[in-house]
């Protein structure tokens, strides 16, 4: 073998480009390894006597791929899309894509030949194919049928068999299946038959539905020229001719066969497979066959069916690609799949979840028997007539339509004219079957237009066959219009079933009544059938018989759940918005989801589901003796059939479909805001008891400033902070005064009225148990145990809770107690009034009340002492104390930042979002924790071990300092991705792992060295970056959105919201500073303790949340600020002095030292309070319990437990 015999031989020794040392020849097929050989000594020398080299061709493969054609596909903009190669290997022929070739898939999957298992050889074979292809002329290839612009010439139509009409250009079709290629092969209509005869026979015997299928098929030929933006969905019972209808249209392009050759199978193919197949069959009739779905199909099957229908119908309706996909690089688009035909889908039934919007993008034929004469089609198929005459006749029509469009100067105009003909023929009949369709807003205008365009295909077919259009169009238009009327009804049903809040709320209420989650009362709040709407049974009203009244013999009823009131005077059924919201949520009906108790009223008003006549959704309705704010829903919304007509009809006062379907802020329901709302005069207030000047109780004489007689003290004109109620009277307490009203109260409403008059913003009042009993309180607390599980329901008739006199009288005056009932702490709410909290100190039992917070009032406090404590707390913090320091602290935040705040400075216009649970962000879980760390004993130095003592330095009010410093977000957080760290933006950052720059300090992320990623708050991450963590370790971020004011200026995303003048933190700080920690006054000591507990527990309450305040991200920011501030100081001392802590427990840092004198061992820069000074923020203290011997330290861990060996 010599080089001259090998083809090709190029570029010196690189015989196969890209594969040096290899060569090949096609005939006979062989692949060689080329080796350089030197002749033996004395042989092969040239004339100069030097020895030359020779190439030896060693056969490696006894076969070689042969490329017969190189194909190229172009994108619409003329750029190269990809290449294909027709390759033969040992008689195996395949068209392989460039991607398959380069990836090696072609050799692994398309061919089988010896040697293909060796990767090096496969690479050589790839280069061989590329080398051969480069020598061949390129042939243009297309990857779909239909119209293409091959050159600058008019478009050509490429059939599924690869024919290019009318020019016969050399165009290759890639991807056609053999069956499709065969079916699309040309056929000839036998002599003696004509296309007109065939079309006439089909029109006469085949049924109108197959004729419409032919129309849609004919129109499909011009889809890319002038699109019809709708699918044709044919559904109906078995044996109604669904497939027959679709197949008739397909006969215009393909030979008949049974079972038919579908484009794709709806039930068997995946969505992706369907996409690819539909994309291939462009500008030709299609068949997406057999969506086998029954009404009781599993939800999974129905969801899959909906997904397929969505993908197909929405793509054709919207005109875009079926689904955008990206390659793995995330930038490059994958091949786009389009629908370039009228997809014809057959289905046994349509899934109930199919949206009305899909119906608007499809012409839906509901076939019944007789619409398609499938027996005739079966007969001609069996007789062979279909294959010999009908099929070729219809193919002739299809070919003529293609030819006509190809030869037309403006094929679009041809199609437009046909569309108009179809629409004109159809509209006449639709006017009769669907009155008012042209003015309808349900989407029928588009549906009729598209159906008319499809019908226009029949005009094209008639022209091609040479028959009159009119009779053919009329034969189809009338039944088609009837079918469209059914579709219009279905669309309206679907819209109401899926989108109509009015219908939804009616369904929910009706279902709630029947399932006894709600019940209906009469206008006076009584239960019975006498006041129900006409025709409604007791069961339908949620009522159940519970026997007869022993006195009058009437049947008694009971109801459970939400109370609804039939108030014909107001025009319907009244219900409180919050109760209706609860009912809607309990129903799980997704149509009514997305609203709140406040916004559901506005949404119902927009949907026309409320009795009109007022600007607000709620009305004040008189029910019995009370006047709650209620939504009033017309009876016809709930029971559309009560009057014998379930259809509200077009003359309904409020048209359907006005709701935008989404939640909105809406007009707020009148809300009773505790403590901070300004009072409004109440028409139920009774005169207060006369102010009688009296000597204050002995406890309070000392509280009144010297020189001011008690008798001169009066509440008039001075703010009352709290009050104590005894059997003898009520004592009002101000900041430096107190006064008593003698006489006491026998009626709770009277007492409440007096309290509101003295404390217009509401407040907390302490009352003796005996005085409470005089008001009608029960003898002991009867409220539900907080946090406890509900008691098991008894099997018998539910026993109504017998309310005490205080509750009954208060209800009569419009006051309601806390939902849990009367307890040691009871909040009384009334419409348009501030809340009043009444505490009975004798009843306070933290264990029974299940309170976790630090106790302030105790059971051994009398009412007046308790009142004094309450007044002192309010004096310091500005808010009344309510149950725990944490709850009171969140009330402070609410008063400072909420909508009813003092509008000064930067908070004049902007309210902070106070209630957000962090759903969907890192705030939903606890991310920041206090530092609790013991240095491992192995890391203690000999020097440290030799020190006799370990002393702990405690930060003064660590969390309070952090509350001052913490930068908190105004709004919610969202995942913004990481675009650079900014310490001024509060939020969360994802850090890829731990960061421990100092061996003798804990992991600065606060995660004890646990592997990442960690979600950390901004102060922690800022601290990490300060200590050398590369910014690249931050991988993601959740930050507040950037907002702008009306002038377009960026608003700050965060701020020191608890800092101000005075802010929440400063109020607490000043309160603490005003009381000496060493005060001998037990009450003052208790006040100081509870103020201290306020900032500590408030952080926890921000995490857990109250009714009004819930910001877990704020808690994380405060904790993160506290920890990083501490560690920052500790690290600074360590770096500068070599003094490293041996233990850190929350806010206390322990060092191994020689002496227990704090001043002698205090690190530089740290400060201790001076003698007699009250500790200030930023200072350190050493408490006796934080001083221990080294032996004690070595024996116990940070928790105080014995160390584990």
Partner 1 sequence: MQIRGRAKQDLGEAIFQALSGRAYSSVEKASTQEAAKAMVDRWGSTKAVAERLGVSVRTVERYVSGAIQNPSKRNRDQFAAAHREAKITPGRKQKAAESGTASGPDRTQTGTGGLAIFGSVRVSEDERDRWITPGSHMTPAEADGIIDAMVQNGPEAAAAALNTVIQRYVPGMHINYIEEIDY
**In whole angstroms, how close is the CB of 991 to partner 1 at the nearest point?**
19
Q: Does the protein bind partner 1 through residue 1047 (CB under 8 A)?
A: no
Q: Does the protein bind partner 1 through residue 326 (CB under 8 A)?
A: no
Q: Does the protein bind partner 1 through residue 1096 (CB under 8 A)?
A: yes
Q: Does the protein bind partner 1 through residue 1195 (CB under 8 A)?
A: no
The three-class DSSP label of residue 60 is strand
Which is nearer to partner 1, 115 or 1105 (by Cβ)? 1105
**In whole angstroms, how close is the CB of 790 to partner 1 at the nearest point?**
10
User: Which residue in 918, 969, 1060, 1071 binds partner 1 (CB under 8 A)?
Assistant: 918
Contacts of 1122 (CB under 8 A, 6+ apart): 930, 958, 959, 961, 962, 1147
Q: Does the protein bind partner 1 through residue 851 (CB under 8 A)?
A: yes
Q: Does the protein bind partner 1 through residue 859 (CB under 8 A)?
A: no
The mark string for 1098-1137 relative to partner 1 (x by CB under 8 A, - otherwise) is -----xxx------x-------------------------
And the tokens for 184?
A: 């699309």
Q: Does the protein bind partner 1 through residue 854 (CB under 8 A)?
A: yes
The three-class DSSP label of residue 22 is strand
Q: Which stretch binds partner 1 (CB under 8 A): 506-514, 921-929, 1018-1026, 1153-1161?
A: 921-929
Burial of residue 788 (number of CB atoms within 10 Å: 0-12, 13-18, 19+): exposed
Alpha-carbon separation of residue 329 from 83, 323, 325, 332, 334 (angstroms): 22, 17, 11, 7, 11
Identify the sign of the CA torsion 791, 795, 800, 804. Answer: negative
**In whole angstroms, how close is the CB of 1190 to partner 1 at the nearest point?**
21
Q: Does the protein bind partner 1 through residue 929 (CB under 8 A)?
A: yes
Which is nearer to partner 1, 427 or 1179 (by Cβ)? 1179
Which is nearer to partner 1, 33 or 1096 (by Cβ)? 1096
Q: Does the protein bind partner 1 through residue 850 (CB under 8 A)?
A: yes
**In whole angstroms, how close is the CB of 886 to partner 1 at the nearest point?**
12
Q: Does the protein bind partner 1 through residue 906 (CB under 8 A)?
A: no
And the tokens for 1184?
A: 């006796």
- Cis peptide leading into 8, omega within 30 of 0? yes
- Cβ(271)–Cβ(307) under 8 Å? yes
Q: How far is CA 666 from the centre of its chain?
A: 21
**In whole angstroms, how close is the CB of 840 to partner 1 at the nearest point?**
20
Sheet bearing 362-367, strands edge to edge? 264-265, 288-291, 344-347, 231-236, 362-367
CA-based diameter of the chain, in Å?
Answer: 142
Q: Does the protein bind partner 1 through residue 930 (CB under 8 A)?
A: yes
Residue linked to tokens 């209620």: 630
Alpha-carbon separation of residue 420 from 31, 453, 457, 666 (angstroms): 64, 7, 10, 47
Burial of residue 88 (number of CB atoms within 10 Å: 0-12, 13-18, 19+): middle
- Cβ(868)–Cβ(1086) under 8 Å? no
Q: Which stretch binds partner 1 (CB under 8 A): 380-388, 569-577, 740-748, 845-853?
A: 845-853
Total of residues contacting partner 1 (CB under 8 A): 36
Q: Does the protein bind partner 1 through residue 1184 (CB under 8 A)?
A: no
Rounded to the nearest 5°, which phi and psi values hold at 1027?
-100, 35
The mark string for 601-620 relative to partner 1 (x by CB under 8 A, - otherwise) is --------------------
DSSP secondary structure of 1085-1097: HHHHHHHHHHHHH
Q: Which stretch binds partner 1 (CB under 8 A): 643-651, 993-1001, 1145-1153, 1188-1196?
A: 1145-1153
**In whole angstroms, how close is the CB of 440 to partner 1 at the nearest point?**
45
Q: Which stretch binds partner 1 (CB under 8 A): 123-131, 519-527, 733-741, 848-856?
A: 848-856
The three-class DSSP label of residue 709 is coil
**In whole angstroms, how close is the CB of 781 to partner 1 at the nearest point?**
16
CA distance 989 to 977: 9
Q: Does the protein bind partner 1 through residue 206 (CB under 8 A)?
A: no
CA distance 131 to 15: 10
Q: Does the protein bind partner 1 through residue 917 (CB under 8 A)?
A: yes
CA distance 1131 to 1145: 15
Strands 968-969 and 30-37: unpaired
Which is nearer to partner 1, 100 or 1147 (by Cβ)? 1147
Q: 958-965 and 1082-1104 are packed helices; what angle lies between their axes, rounded to 10 degrees?
A: 50
**In whole angstroms, how close is the CB of 1016 to partner 1 at the nearest point?**
16
> Which residues lie across from 1040 on neighbouring strands?
973
Q: Does the protein bind partner 1 through residue 887 (CB under 8 A)?
A: no
Q: Does the protein bind partner 1 through residue 789 (CB under 8 A)?
A: yes
User: Which residue in 163, 482, 901, 1146 binds partner 1 (CB under 8 A)?
Assistant: 1146
Q: Does the protein bind partner 1 through residue 932 (CB under 8 A)?
A: yes
- Cβ(348)–Cβ(294) under 8 Å? yes
**In whole angstroms, how close is the CB of 1113 to partner 1 at the nearest point?**
10
> Which residues lie across from 172 on neighbouring strands?
141
Touching partner 1, residues 729-788 (CB under 8 A): 787-788
Q: Which stretch binds partner 1 (CB under 8 A): 8-16, 118-126, 231-239, 1192-1200?
A: 1192-1200
**In whole angstroms, how close is the CB of 930 to partner 1 at the nearest point?**
6
**In whole angstroms, how close is the CB of 1199 to partner 1 at the nearest point?**
5
Rounded to the nearest 5°, which phi and psi values hold at 255?
-70, 150
Report, in angstroms and rounded to the nearest whole number, the Rg of the chain calculated over CA atoms.
43
Which is nearer to partner 1, 275 or 934 (by Cβ)? 934
Q: Does the protein bind partner 1 through residue 968 (CB under 8 A)?
A: no
Q: Does the protein bind partner 1 through residue 1199 (CB under 8 A)?
A: yes
Q: Does the protein bind partner 1 through residue 1201 (CB under 8 A)?
A: yes
DSSP secondary structure of 106-162: IIIII---TTTT-HHHHHHHHHHHHHHHHHSPEEEEESSSEEE--SSSSPEEEPTTS
Touching partner 1, residues 935-954 (CB under 8 A): 954
Q: Does the protein bind partner 1 through residue 925 (CB under 8 A)?
A: yes
> Which residues lie across from 147 on neighbouring strands?
157
Which is nearer to partner 1, 789 or 793 (by Cβ)? 789
Which is nearer to partner 1, 466 or 1077 (by Cβ)? 1077
Residue (of 639, 1062, 697, 1114) closest to 877 by Cα position: 1062
User: Which residue in 551, 847, 1046, 1049 binds partner 1 (CB under 8 A)?
Assistant: 847
The three-class DSSP label of residue 869 is helix
Q: Does the protein bind partner 1 through residue 845 (CB under 8 A)?
A: no
Which is nearer to partner 1, 180 or 1117 (by Cβ)? 1117
CA distance 14 to 551: 115
User: Which residue in 919, 942, 943, 1047 binds partner 1 (CB under 8 A)?
Assistant: 919
Q: Which stretch binds partner 1 (CB under 8 A): 453-461, 593-601, 849-857, 1011-1019?
A: 849-857
And the tokens for 709?
A: 């007689």
**In whole angstroms, how close is the CB of 1181 to partner 1 at the nearest point?**
11
Which is nearer to partner 1, 281 or 954 (by Cβ)? 954
Q: Does the protein bind partner 1 through residue 858 (CB under 8 A)?
A: no
Contacts of 782 (CB under 8 A, 6+ apart): 804, 821, 822, 823
**In whole angstroms, how close is the CB of 1096 to partner 1 at the nearest point?**
7
> Which residues are near partner 1 by CB under 8 A?
787-789, 846-847, 850-855, 917-919, 924-926, 929-930, 932, 954, 1096, 1103-1105, 1112, 1145-1148, 1183, 1185, 1198-1201
């Amino acid at each position: 073998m010599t080089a001259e015999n090998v083809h090709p031989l190029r570029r010196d020794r690189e015989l196969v480009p890209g594969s040096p040392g290899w060569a090949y020849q096609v005939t006979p097929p062989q692949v060689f390894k080329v080796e350089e050989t030197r002749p033996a000594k004395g042989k092969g020398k040239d004339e100069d006597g030097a020895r030359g080299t020779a190439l030896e061709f060693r056969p490696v493969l006894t076969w070689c791929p042969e490329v017969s054609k190189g194909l190229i596909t172009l994108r619409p903009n003329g750029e190269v899309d990809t290449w294909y190669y027709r390759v033969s290997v040992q008689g195996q022929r395949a068209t392989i894509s460039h991607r398959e070739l380069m990836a090696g898939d072609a050799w692994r999957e398309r061919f089988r030949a010896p040697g293909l298992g060796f990767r090096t050889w496969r690479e050589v074979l790839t280069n061989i194919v590329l080398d051969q292809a480069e020598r061949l002329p390129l042939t243009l290839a297309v990857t779909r049928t239909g119209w293409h612009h091959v050159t600058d010439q008019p478009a050509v139509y490429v059939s599924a068999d690869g024919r290019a009409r009318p020019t016969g250009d050399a165009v290759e079709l890639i991807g056609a299946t053999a069956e499709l290629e065969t079916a699309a092969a040309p056929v000839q209509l036998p002599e003696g038959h004509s296309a007109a005869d065939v079309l006439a026979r089909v029109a006469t015997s085949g049924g109108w539905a197959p004729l419409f299928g032919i129309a849609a098929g004919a129109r499909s030929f011009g889809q890319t020229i002038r699109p019809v933006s709708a699918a044709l969905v044919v559904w109906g019972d078995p044996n109604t001719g669904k497939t027959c209808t679709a197949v008739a249209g397909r006969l215009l392009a393909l030979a008949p066969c049974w079972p038919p050759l579908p484009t794709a199978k709806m039930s068997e193919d995946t969505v992706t497979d369907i996409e690819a197949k539909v994309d291939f069959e462009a500008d030709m009739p299609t068949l997406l066959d057999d969506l086998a779905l029954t009404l009781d199909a599993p939800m999974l099957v129905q969801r899959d069916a909906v997904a397929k229908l969505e993908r197909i119908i929405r793509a054709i309706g919207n005109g875009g690609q079926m689904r955008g996909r990206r390659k793995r690089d995330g930038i490059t688009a994958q091949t786009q799949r389009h629908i370039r035909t009228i997809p014809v889908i057959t289905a046994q039934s349509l899934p109930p979840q199919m949206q009305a919007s899909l119906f608007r993008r499809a012409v839906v034929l509901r076939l019944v028997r007789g619409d398609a004469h499938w027996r005739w089609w079966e007969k001609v198929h069996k007789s062979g007539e279909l294959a010999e005459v009908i099929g070729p006749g219809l193919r002739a029509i299809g070919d003529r339509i293609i030819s006509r469009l190809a030869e037309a100067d403006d094929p679009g105009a041809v199609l437009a004219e046909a569309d108009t003909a179809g629409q004109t023929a159809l509209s006449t009949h639709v006017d009769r079957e669907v009155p008012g369709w042209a003015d309808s807003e349900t989407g029928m205008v588009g549906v009729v237009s598209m159906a008319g365009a499809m019908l226009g295909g029949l005009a094209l077919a008639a022209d091609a066959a040479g028959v009159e259009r009119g009779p053919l169009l009329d034969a189809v238009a009338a039944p088609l219009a009837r079918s469209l009327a059914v579709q219009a009804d279905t669309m309206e049903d679907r819209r109401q079933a899926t989108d109509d809040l009015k219908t939804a709320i009616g369904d929910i209420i009706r279902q709630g009544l029947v399932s006894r989650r709600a019940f209906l009362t009469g206008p006076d709040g009584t239960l019975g059938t006498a006041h129900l709407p006409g025709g409604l049974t007791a069961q339908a009203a949620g009522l159940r018989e519970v026997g007869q009244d022993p006195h009058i013999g009437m049947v008694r009823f009971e109801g459970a759940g939400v109370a609804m009131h039939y108030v014909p005077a107001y025009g319907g059924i009244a219900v409180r918005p919050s109760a209706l919201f609860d009912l809607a949520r309990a129903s799980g009906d997704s149509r009514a989801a997305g609203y709140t108790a406040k916004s559901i009223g506005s949404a119902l008003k927009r949907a026309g589901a409320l009795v009109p006549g007022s600007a607000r959704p709620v009305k004040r309705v008189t029910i019995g003796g009370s006047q709650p704010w209620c939504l009033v829903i017309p009876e016809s919304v709930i029971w559309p059939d009560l009057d014998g007509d379930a259809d509200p009809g077009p003359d309904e006062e409020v048209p359907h479909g006005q709701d935008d379907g989404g939640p909105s802020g809406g007009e707020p329901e009148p809300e009773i805001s505790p403590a901070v709302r300004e009072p409004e005069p109440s028409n139920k207030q009774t005169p207060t008891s006369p102010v009688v000047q009296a000597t204050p109780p002995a406890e309070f004489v000392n509280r009144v400033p010297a020189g001011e007689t008690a008798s001169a003290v009066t509440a008039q004109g001075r703010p009352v902070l709290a009050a104590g109620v005894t059997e003898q009277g009520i004592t009002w307490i101000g900041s430096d005064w107190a006064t008593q009203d003698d006489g006491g109260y026998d009626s709770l409403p009277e007492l409440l009225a007096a309290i509101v008059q003295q404390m217009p913003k509401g407040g907390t009042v302490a009352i003796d148990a005996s005085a409470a009993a005089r008001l009608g309180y029960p003898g002991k607390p009867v409220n539900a145990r907080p946090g406890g599980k509900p008691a098991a329901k008894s099997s018998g008739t539910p026993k109504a809770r017998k309310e005490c006199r205080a509750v009954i009288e208060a209800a009569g005056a419009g006051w309601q107690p806390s939902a849990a009932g009367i307890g040691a702490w009871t909040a009384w709410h009334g419409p348009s009034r501030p809340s009043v909290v009444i505490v009975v100190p004798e009843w306070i039992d933290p264990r029974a009340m299940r309170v976790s917070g630090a106790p302030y009032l105790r059971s051994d406090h009398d009412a007046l002492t308790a009142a004094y404590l309450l007044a002192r707390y309010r004096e310091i913090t500005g808010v009344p104390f309510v149950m725990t320091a944490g709850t009171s602290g969140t009330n402070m935040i609410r008063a400072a930042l909420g909508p009813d705040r003092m509008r000064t400075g930067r908070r004049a216009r902007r309210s902070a979002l106070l209630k957000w649970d962090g759903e969907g962000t890192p705030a939903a879980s606890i991310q920041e924790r206090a530092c609790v760390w013991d240095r491992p004993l192995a890391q203690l130095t000999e020097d440290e071990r030799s020190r006799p003592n370990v002393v702990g330095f405690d930060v003064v009010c660590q969390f309070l300092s952090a509350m001052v410093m913490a930068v908190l977000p105004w709004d919610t957080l969202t995942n913004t991705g990481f675009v650079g760290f900014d310490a001024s933006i509060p939020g969360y950052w994802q850090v890829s792992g731990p960061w421990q720059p100092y061996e003798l300090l804990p992991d600065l992320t606060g995660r004890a060295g646990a592997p990442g990623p960690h979600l950390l708050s901004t102060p922690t991450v800022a601290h990490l970056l300060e200590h050398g963590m590369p910014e690249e370790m931050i991988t993601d971020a959740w930050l507040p959105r950037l907002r702008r004011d009306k002038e377009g200026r960026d608003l700050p995303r965060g701020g020191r919201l608890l800092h101000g003048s005075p802010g929440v933190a400063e109020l607490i700080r000043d309160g603490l500073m005003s009381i000496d920690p060493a005060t001998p006054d037990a009450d003052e000591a208790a006040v100081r303790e509870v103020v201290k507990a306020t900032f500590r527990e408030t952080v926890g309450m921000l995490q857990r949340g109250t009714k009004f305040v819930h910001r877990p991200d704020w808690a994380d920011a405060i904790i993160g600020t506290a920890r990083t501030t501490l560690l920052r100081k500790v690290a600074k001392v360590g770096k500068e002095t070599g003094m490293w802590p041996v233990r850190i427990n929350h806010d206390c840092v322990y060092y191994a030292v020689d002496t227990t004198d704090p001043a002698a061992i205090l690190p530089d820069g740290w400060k201790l309070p001076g003698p007699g000074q009250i500790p200030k923020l930023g200072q350190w203290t050493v408490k006796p319990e934080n001083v221990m011997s080294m032996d004690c330290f070595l024996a116990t861990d940070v928790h105080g437990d014995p160390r584990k060996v």
